[in-house]
Each structure stands twice: as C-alpha cells, then as structure tokens.
Structure 1
Amino acid sequence: MDLLTPTRAIDIVRVVRDLGYELHENRKIVCPFHVEKTPSLVIYPQTNSYHCFGCGKHGDVISFYAGIAHLDYTAAMHELAFNYLPEYNPELYKKGHLKKIQSAVVAKPEKIALPSDTNAYVYKPLHSDIYEAFQRVCEGQPPTDVRAEAWQYLAGRGFSESTLRKFRLFTVNDYQSAQSFLRKTYNLLDLQECGLFNEKGNLIFYRHPIIIPYYRKNRIVFLQGRLIGRPTDSTSRYQFLSGVPVELFNADVVDLIKTGQTLYVTEGALDCMTLMQEGMPAVSLGSATMFKREWMKLFRRFEICFYFDNDAAGQKAAREYGDLFSQYRISTRTKTVKEGYKDVNDYFSKRD
C-alpha cells in the first residue's frame, strides 16, 4: 500500500486547525518551533506545505505534525493516516502506538476564516509557471548596459552565443519593472514560497542580474543569479532562490546519453556549461555542498567523473561523494583541474 502519497495530501490547513493553531492574516500562525510573538510561519495550501520565515523550518504536512507531536516522520505519517484516512488499517503500525489528534495548545482559539474559504483568494500556478513568467518578462525588456556588460562578461568566460542560447541564460535589465510585473501578476506569498522574493517583499536578484535557469523535462524548476565580474566582500558570487532546495542543473542530459557513458559532475553551473560546450556531458550540483540523495537514481547508468574546483573544499567533496556513490554501487573517478587554474571554466577558457 502506498501510504505516503495520500497522507501527504491530507489538508494541512485542517491539521493546523485541528491542532488548535490560530490562522492569522495571509495564512500565518505563531510558529510552534521557536519562541516568537508575531506570526511568521506561513501555510501554503496549494502545495500542502509550510515555511517559517523566522526560524527557517519548512516541509510538508507530515513533517509539520511530526514536529508538533515529537514523532519521527514515519510515525507521524501513520498517526495522520489513522486520524484522517478512512481506509487506513491501524494494524499496519505498532499496536497501541496511534493516538487521536488533540489540540496542541492549551486553549483552542476561535478560528479565523481564510480568504480561500470565501473564494477571495485565487491560487497561482506552481513554481515553474512563475519562473517562466519571470524569464519572459526579462527577455522582453529593452536591451540595456546591464545586458551588454553581462554578455561581454560571459563571452570573456569563453561561452559562445550558441551555448548561451542553448541554456537560455537571461538578464534582469530593469530590476524595478521586473519586480513590479511579478507583484502585480502573482500573490506575494506565492512569490516568497517559490523563492523569488525575500521576506521584505523584494525580488532577490538585485545584485545578481545574470540569471541561470535550471530545467527538468523542459520546464524551469530552479533559478540562480550571478554577479557580473568578481564578488566583493559584502556580496557573494551567486544568489540562489530563497529557502528553496536546489535542483540538479542540466538534468535533462541524462536522458540523452547512453548507458555506461561518462557523465561529468561539476560544482558550478558555468563549469557544467563549459564541459557541455566541449562536448562532455555534464550536470552541476550548484555547489560542492548541495547534493540530494534522491538524485542518485539519475546516476546509476553512468560512469561518474567528479570534476570539482581546484581547492581543498572541492577535493574533499569529491572524496566524500566517491564514498557515498560506492554505497550505491555506482562507479566513480575524479578529474582534477590543472595547477594554476581554479575551476573547470577557468581552465578551458584560459588554456593555450
């Protein structure tokens, strides 16, 4: 029996209410996972999830209940199913370990009607639609000095125009107009949930106008911003979506190459693009620390070659991932950037 799927679909708003939490304006509750007076945990019915902008805790309805009931994820799944799924068989779990849900607060406050209860709130499409609308509005902006500077910078990094078109990099030429379009088109809570806007209600790509889209099955599933030129002490080189787990860059390449072929794994997206331009199939983790085990199934058919940055962190990551992949019986090897070059792109763009 697939218990996970129907349990994850249990209405998180109903669970939150049944636990006695008061739903404030914009679907916020006082976060039960840290001490606060002003509600900062937002409930997202359209994805049946939650995110606290105070402590950063987020997840699905099962992880929410697990945190409240002090249970592990599996136990919380069974207890939710016991309470909300009529077809659930209690004998599937440890006898006597399932409890009826009760209010988690001392006094259950009066519920406040959500806008969705009165059809006053229209939920927007999921993240890909928003990311692609952002891309369209940016691509439709008149060319500016920002775009010219960005394309000159990328050309200096060795990228051809065909490569930039293939990966559909784009630039935020007019930050204010892009931000205004998104605010007028989508609800702010949706923009924050998909990571494009921060808790202050601003588009996050203010200092990072080069936008690198991550695709899966030809839909944008993640976005990453890049500075033009070198970073400063106060600004990082990259800007990832706020509070959204990173996706695998160029993941669609795994559907195009043959079993047993070498698949290169890089840290940065630009390194991945460089290898692809050289005819070497590659994917990028986003950074050496951003690996999700769920990606492992994509790598099973291939010989994996880690091609990380030429620094201690990159080489340490290659060793650790090599050990991890071996547990899944996936063959790996490591290729090192030559001395004097810091990463894959630096080497291929500057080599003689």
Structure 2
Amino acid sequence: MAISESFIQQLRMACDITSIVSSYVELKREGRNKKCLCPFHLEKTPSLVVYEDTQSFYCFGCGTGGDVITFIMKIENLDYVEAVKFLAARVGLTVPEDGQDDKLAKQRSRILALNREAARFFHQSLKSPEGREGLAYFAQRRLTKKTIITYGLGYAPNQWHALLDHIKSKGYSYEEAALADLAVKSKNGRYYDKFRNRVIFPIIDLRGNVIGFGGRVLDDSQPKYLNSSDTPVFKKSRNLFSLNFAKNSPEKNLILAEGYMDVIAMYQAGFHNVVATLGTALTAEQARLISRYANEVIIAYDSDEAGQIATTRASNLFEEAGVEARVLEITGAKDPDEYIKTYGADRFKVLLEQSENVIKSKLKRLKSRYNLDEPEEQVKYIHEYCLMISELYDKLERDVYAGSLAVECNLSKAAVLEQVEHLRKQQYRRKKSKEWKEIQSGKAVYVDKINPERVKYPKEAKAEEGILYFLLNHPDFVSYILERIQPEQFITSWNQKLFALIIQKIQQDSPLELTYFNEQLSPDEMGRLARILSENRDLNHTKESLDDYIAVILQHAHKLQDAERSRFSLDDYEQYRQELFKNKGKK
C-alpha cells in the first residue's frame, strides 16, 4: 500500500531511533553519537553508529544502515509496509488505509492467515477419532492436555488431500498452499499435502503469528522430522522454536535444546526459558537473536557424539555473539526429555545449576582422555590444553586457564603463556595464508552488489558520492549542478540512479530525509545511502569542492572520448572533425 508522506513524517517524529535501537541492543555514548555491537553480523568491537541528529544508523563492519524503518525491516525481517505498521503500533498510531494494496504485503498476510487456519485444522484433527494415533504418541511422551493446548500441537491425517480440501473450502488456493510450503506440486502438476500421518508442532514468531510447522512421523519411516522450508513469512535460520514463550520468562538466561520434544518437556516441567533450532544446526543469526534476550545460554544438546560436536560449534557462535555459553552435562539419559522423565524436574534443576562454561567442560573431557602419569600422554595433554585456550578471545581468560594448567602439571605459568602465544601466532599466520590463497584464486574477491562499478572507478565513484551528499544537504543547488552535469554522465550506474532519484524528489518538493527513500530503495540500498551520509558528514563540502567533484567526473568522460577517438580510422576521424566543426559553428 502507498503510505502518505504526511504519515511517514508523523511516524518519524514519534519514533526516536535511539529509543527503538536500544530496545534491541545496548547503546553507549561516544561523542555526539552512540555505538553498539551490530545485531546484523557477529563482532566483538562495536561498529554500528546511531546518529541522533539525522535519526539514522550505519554499521562500518557490515554496511547495514538506514533509518528507524530500515532498522525494523532488518531486525524483525519485515517488508517496508509491515515495518511501518509495526512501528505505528508501537507508538500508538494507526496507518491510514488510503492507498493501494502492496502485492508482497498482501501475499504475506494471506500466508499467515493460511498458516493459522492450517494450525487449527491440525489441532482439530488431533482431537478427532482420526487423530487417535497422534494423541497416543503424545500420551506416551507424557504430555498433559494443558501442554498440548499451550503449544497448539496437532496431527496431519494419513491422507493426500486432507489439508488441501479443508483450506480450499476456506477460500485458499492450492498455489497459496504450495507457497506456504503446506502442499507439494508433483511433476504432473497435481498438488498434495506435505505433512501426512505426522504429529505437528506449529512454529510461532514473537508477534504470535504461525509462520511454519514441524512434523514427526509415528512409525520408522524417513525423514523422522519434516520441517517447513523457507517461505515469504518464514526463515528457519532466523527463528527459534518457543522463543515466543521464552522471551517472557523471568529467568535471565536461555536454555538451548536440540528439538521440539526436549523444549516441550522442559516447558512442562516448569522451565519456560527454553528454545530450539528448527531442524538445522545453530546459525549466526540465531545466536544474535538469542543475544537480544539473554547474556547467558545453557546448551542442552544430546549427550551423544553428534551432540558434543554441535555443542562445540554452537559455543563458538555464542562467543562471537557476545553470549556466555555453558554446557549441560547429561549423565544417565540421552537428552533432557529422558532425564526429566527418569529423575524428575528437581534433579534437572540441579543439573542446570551445575552446568559449566564451555571451555571448562571441554578441558574436563580432554583430561579424561589422557593418563597424566605417563610423560608422553602428559605432553600431548599439555599441547592440546594450550591449543584449546589459545583460541579464547579474552586475554584475561587465557591467563587464568594457563595458571590452572601450570599448577596442575607443575609448570611455570610463563612457559604455558609463551606456548599459548606461539600457537596464536601460528593460527594467525595460517589464517592470513589462507586469505591470501583465496585472494589469488579469486575466491575472496569482494563483490559490491549495490555498486559493482565502484571498485573499477573508485575516484569517480567517490566524486559522485560527494555530489550526492552535497545535493541532499543543499537542494537549492540543483539547477547549478544540472547546468554542469546530468545523471547519465555519472560513471557508476547505482550513483546515477540515486542522483536521478534525488533530483526527482527535489523537483517534486518531496522531503530528502533518509526515511523518505525507503519506498524506492531496498534495505541494502538504504545501507549504501546511509554509508554515503556517514562517510561525508564530517567533511567540509563547499561550492568549490562540488566543482572539483563535477570536474573529476567530466574529466573521466573526456578520457573515455579520447580513448574512443584513438581507435578511429582516418575516414572516421575526418567525419568526426567535420561534425565537431559544424557544432562549433552553430554556437
């Protein structure tokens, strides 16, 4: 839908970017601006700057930037219209419905409504005679009626078109069902239900929308679990099962489990601060999502080898996201669900309290593999111990663990730290060597998706950005600039597009604040515009510097013309000379 400039202005006045951003991340004052760890990529040093004077933000680490609407689009995974509505609801405004329907927003709305109807169908099917087998499975897993209702658990009938027939009666098409990944289209063009003869776990986002489903078989068929693929409303790498409940828990930490049943078993036992990934290993996006709600996470993966490998990978992601990770050591059971059934909720609570930080847990398992009474074994143990602590980011933490090893093996702490630093230098050299090989092979070549020509013409692109910045801040110079240079004379296509857009806005008397570019630019393009504003804000842009920028571009254009003329034949050159003479005569 088209949203009026007057309403966007009203929304902009009501939504202070500092207040909005600080509700997701911790902001710290740095001069006249504020900085924070960027929620859009993993980092340890704050690189996202919030500019209060322009109500904008820009991350110098990953290039994400824009205004408050762009921020919400990125962090909540919403399109432009949805982000406007989200912010409006937050500050008590109502978006006027006086525009045309936006196709993408309408499509997402239809899919969310379809998912909600599908969840109702699966839940009703579970309560019907046909769902007796599904109920028996949940009874076997000792779930109460209250838990089944809380999570909206369901059953997909053992039929090819049960859900399709139902949603068709509700006014939805087979194509929409396929788009929502509730139906599959066969090679002969026929549609059939994706979920059949499975218990169903609805996946609900933080706003209470049903965005996807997980289904578990009731026999030995494969795959054991079937999950929704990515759709216009669901990205499995950016969501977590049961976070809609966990975010309201009074606990200050989160428990990360492997699967749906572990989460539900823990929730039923009174541990409401539990989440799980959605059929995939933990992703960087999910680690950052967890960092918004907790500073500490307890990894409660299965006790088998696969679970331990997954624990190591997850702990690395949490370290990069700035979240302290602890490991739940499960003994006497393969997973939290089985442990709670065997020993009860009180014992499980003690187990959680005894969880150790990741490095301590790793070192304990390392020690169990060696006989330290044997010199050869002790040397191997010391080497692996040093290798493990050399990977720690925090210098103080490395110092503490080096001291522990020194005491344990009767070594000098200085010798241990020397070995740790030697290993860190080795790792650094290997990393740089790998990066260089990738650069030589072409694998690490940076591809600028917004302005790919910028790499080829850095000087000209910089001059173009200087003109753009000057024009945004001095729109009264538009005639002066257009007398000297036209959009088609810009060297890079992206800057040419932006130049034409700014001119159009000026000629239509539209506002030039960042917010008013959201409808015409994608979030990534908004990031590039925010970068131009950030990089130029402290430079002294005068009329003389503007003339210099224009000269750089025109000079490049003349060079291209000269190069083109150098390839003329004598006949071509004579024709060019005569045309040039005629044009001068006309002046």
Provide closer, same or farther for how the CA distance between residues 143 and 263 of structure 1 changes in structure 2, counting only shifts above 3 A: closer
Residue of 199, 202, 224 corresponding to 2:192:
202
Cα-to-partner distance string for 1:55-101 (whole Å, 9 max, x where unaligned): xxxxxxxxxxxxxxxxxx98xxxxxxxxxxxxxxxxxxxxxxxxxxx
> Which residue of structure 1 aligns with residue 155 of structure 2?
171
Hey, what does 2:58 align to over in structure 1? none
State the shift of 1:349 in Å.
2.3
Give the alignment partner of residue 342 of structure 1, picking from 307, 311, 334: 334
2:225 maps to 238
Distance 1:319 1:190 in 2: 40
Superposition pairs of residues 210-229 of structure 1, within 5 angstroms = 210-216=199-205, 217-228=207-218
* Deviation of 1:308 (Å): 0.7
Find 1:190's aligned residue among 165, 168, 176. Answer: 176
Partner amino acid, structure 1, of 2:150: K
- One-letter code aligned to 2:242: N
Which residue is 1:330 aligned to?
323
| Greater mean alpha carbon deviation, residues 281-290 or residues 136-145 | 136-145
Partner Cα separation in structure 2 for residue 187 and residue 125 of structure 1: 14
Contact map agreement 1:311 1:342 (CA 8 A) in 2:
yes
Match of 2:298 among 289, 296, 305: 305
CA distance in 1 between counterparts of 2:127 and 2:286 reads 40
Name the CA distance, whole Å, in 1 between partners of 2:296 and 2:196: 39
TM-score w.r.t. the length of structure 1 is 0.58
Gaps of 5+ in 2: 1-61, 64-102, 345-587
Q: Is the 8 A contact 1:251 1:283 kept in 2?
A: yes
Distance 1:322 1:124, change over 3 A: closer
Q: Retained in 1: the 8 A contact 2:215–2:226?
A: yes
* Structure 1 position 276, deviation (Å): 1.0
CA distance in 2: counterparts of 1:319 and 1:195, whole angstroms: 32
Q: Is the contact between residue 198 and residue 242 of structure 1 (CA under 8 Å) also seen in structure 2?
A: no
CA deviations on 1:19-57 (whole Å, 9 max, x unpaired) are xxxxxxxxxxxxxxxxxxxxxxxxxxxxxxxxxxxxxxx
Q: Give the Å deviation of 1:160.
A: 1.4
CA RMSD of aligned residues (A): 2.9
Find the aligned partners of 1:123 and 1:222 in 2 and give their Cα distance: 15
Q: Which amino acid aligns with 1:256?
A: N
Query: How far apart, in 2, do the equivalents of 1:267 and 1:227 lie?
Result: 17
Whole-Å separation in 1 of the counterparts to 2:291 and 2:168: 39
Equivalent position of 2:565 in the other structure: none
Contact 2:201–2:213 (8 Å) recurs in 1: yes
Aligned with 2:136 (options 152, 156, 162):
152
Instruction: Give the SS at the match of 1:318.
Output: helix
CA contact (8 A) 1:157 1:346 kept: no
Whether the 8 Å CA contact 2:125–2:131 is kept in 1: the answer is no
1:134 aligns with 2:118: yes
CA distance in 1 between partners of 2:119 and 2:214 (Å): 12
Tell me, in whole angstroms, the C-alpha distance in 2 between the residues paired with 1:348 and 1:266: 13
- Counterpart of 1:297, as a letter, is L
Q: Kindly indicate whether residue 269 of structure 2 is the aligned counterpart of residue 278 of structure 1.
A: yes
CA offset at residue 267 of structure 1? 0.9
Larger Rg: 2
- What SS class does the counterpart of residue 256 from structure 2 fall into? strand
Q: Which amino acid aligns with 1:334?
A: V
Whichever residue aligns with residue 284 of structure 1, its letter is A
Q: State the 1:242 CA deviation.
A: 3.8
Classify the secondary structure of the residue corresponding to 2:142: coil
SS in 2 for 1:202: strand
CA contact (8 A) 2:304 2:334 kept: yes
Paired position in structure 2 for 1:84 = none
Partner of 1:253 in structure 2? 245
1:128, CA displacement in angstroms?
A: 1.8
User: Counterpart amino acid of 1:261?
Assistant: K
Cα–Cα, structure 1 residues 264 and 159, in superposed 2: closer, same or farther, change >3 Å? same
1:299 to 1:275, Cα distance in 2 relative to 1, 3 A: farther
- TM-score (structure 2 length as normaliser): 0.36
- Equivalent of 1:291 in 255, 270, 283: 283
1:152 Cα deviation (Å)?
1.8
Q: What amino acid sits opposite 2:307 in the alignment?
A: G
| SS across alignment from 2:132 | helix
Structure 1 residue runs of 5 or longer lacking an equivalent are 1-72, 75-118
* 1:154 Cα deviation from its structure 2 partner: 1.0
AA aligned to 2:214 is Q
Q: Are residues 203 and 318 of structure 1, via their aligned partners in 2, closer, same or farther at CA, if it must alter by over 3 Å?
A: same
2:133 alignment partner AA: E
Aligned length: 229
Q: Cα 1:294–1:288, aligned 2, differ >3 Å: closer, same or farther?
A: closer
